[in-house]
Amino acid sequence: MFALSFEAFGGPEVLQYVELPDPPVLPGHVLVDVKAAGVNFADIYRRRGSYRELGEPPYINGYEGAGIVSAVGAGVSGIRIGDRIGFVDVARANVSRLNVPADRAIPLPDDVDYKTAAAVLLQGLTAQYLCEDSAVIAPGDWVVVHSAAGGVGRHLVRFCRAKGARVIAMASSPEKRQIALDLGADVAFGYEDDWVSAVRDMTEGGAHVVYDAVGSTLDKSIEAARPRGVIVTYGMSDAPPRPVDPLVLMQSSKALRGAELWDYLDSAAERARRSARLFAALSSGILQVPPIETFALSDGRRAHQRLEDRRFSGKVVLVPSM
């Protein structure tokens, strides 16, 4: 099999395309011939050394993708050779062949191809639980979505609009703000603006819900929420947020919630239930497939460089057999 790995932390230049022995199928697993693997900022952070708790190199990046089952391990039922599956939380997935725990295998509908699955599963499931579980969104509510043209943000805009919410998009450039508007946002602001005042004026006191994936903006997100509003923090794409004084929340009855996808994908049944609803949203047009840029697994350095380009808005996908 082939893999995209690195033996030292650093820039894209540390990535190496290597050949490794084919793995045997493990008990409780299915062996998958990977057809497409998504690239995410978490992969960049690992490559740079920001996630050292995962261990020192050598390391193989990746944890989401899609492919076809080529072998079934002992103790596995309900999955057969030839089945098409996706996965969102299987480590070291930037390979051509991967052992996937059977309870993490997500069946793919016939109308969802491998590249689409690798492009929407992780970020779509994240946006889904954020708007269904992290906050209650009612028709007419004002919702602020940070990084609204990004991987999760673009799906949040669509999900919130489908619930009848009015969406205020935050994005870093005029081009990304236009993307958010095209996705259905009612208005879009830049971070260089006095966006907190603009949000409070437009919403007559603040947004009902604010989704913050930037981190460094959390203080302002709390300001932009109305009394009894909810602020959901689920990322730190710019920098970790500063500590929050609970008194600030208490004085205006605001709720600050953390969010982590893996707390909701806690069983095979829950993966199946949530992914089925995600695919239904995709089929109905509630969600839109983001622009996909495809790179060969052997061209992983260039794929990482593309994702690191802050002008890029879409999904980078690696394909082992281009």
The pLDDT score that the predictor gives to residue 274 is 96
> Are 250 and 273 found together in one domain?
no
CATH of the domain at 156: 3.40.50.720
CATH of the domain at 19: 3.90.180.10
pTM, full prediction: 0.92
Burial classification of residue 93, based on how many CB atoms lie within 10 Å of its CB (0-12 exposed, 13-18 middle, 19 or more buried): buried
Q: Which of 219, 234, 258 is the last residue of a domain?
A: 258
State pLDDT tens for residues 154-194: 999 999 999 999 999 999 999 999 999 999 999 999 999 89
Within-domain flag for 118: yes
CA distance 85 to 276: 12
The pLDDT score that the predictor gives to residue 52 is 63
- The total number of structural domains in the chain stands at 2
Q: Which of 258, 277, 299 is the last residue of a domain?
A: 258
Domain that holds residue 231: 135-258
Q: Which residues pair with 168 in a beta bridge?
A: 144, 187
CA distance 210 to 222: 8
Question: In the chain, which stretches have pLDDT less than 70?
Answer: 51-54, 322
Report cis status (omega within 30 of 0) of the bond before 57. no
The pLDDT score that the predictor gives to residue 237 is 76
The pLDDT score that the predictor gives to residue 53 is 64
Q: Which of 226, 258, 290 is the last residue of a domain?
A: 258
The pLDDT score that the predictor gives to residue 55 is 72
CB 198 within 8 A of CB 189: yes
Within-domain flag for 60: yes
> Are 179 and 233 found together in one domain?
yes
